[in-house]
Amino acid sequence: MSNWTEADVAAHLARLVCDGELPIPKPKARQPRTGYRSKLEARYAQHLELMVATREIKSWAYEAVTLKLAPGVRFIPDFMVTLFDGTPAGAVRFEELKGRKKTGFWTMPVSKIKIRLAAKLFPQWQFCVVFPNGRLSGWESQPVGRE
C-alpha cells in the first residue's frame, strides 16, 4: 500500500509529462467509411464498377430510392442498376443483396415479402436478388417474378 497523497501523485505525473516519459495515448486509426452497410455490399459495388468499365451496365447507385409499398411500409433496394436497352433512360433493375446461408439466401420472410410486393406494384422495373456464388468466385442472380 502506498503512502502517497493526491498531491504527490499529481506532482509525479507533472514531472513525467515535463520529462516526456508519460506515454501520450495515440488516437486509434479509423477505417475509412465506405458508406456501405456490409463488406459484402462493398465487394458487390466493386463488381458493379467493373461492369460499368466493361460496358455491361450503364450505371449503378447504392440505396438510391425508397419505394413506398403500403402506408408505413418502405423498401430500399440495395442497388439500382441502369442497363443498356436502346432507350435514352435505359432499363432499371433493382438488386437486393443477400448473403448465402446453409438454409438458403432468404434469411428473413420480410425481405421476401417486400421484394415480391415491390415487383408486383412496380412492373415497369426489374427486381432480382443477388447472392455470392462462393467465397470469391462470383455472383448469382435470381429474378423476382410478379406472381
| CATH architecture assigned to 39-143 | 3-Layer(aba) Sandwich (3.40)
SS3 18: helix
Phi-psi region of 72 (alpha: psi -120 to 50; beta: other; left: phi over 0): left
Q: What is the pLDDT of residues 6-27, one digit of tens each?
A: 777 777 767 766 555 545 555 5
Contacts of 101 (CB under 8 A, 6+ apart): 107
Distance CA 95, CA 119 (A): 11
Instruction: Give the pLDDT score at 1.
Output: 46
Closest CA to 141 of 93, 89, 103, 69: 93
Q: What is the pLDDT of residues 127-139, one digit of tens each?
A: 999 888 876 678 8
Question: In sequence order, what are the beta bridge partners of 117?
Answer: none
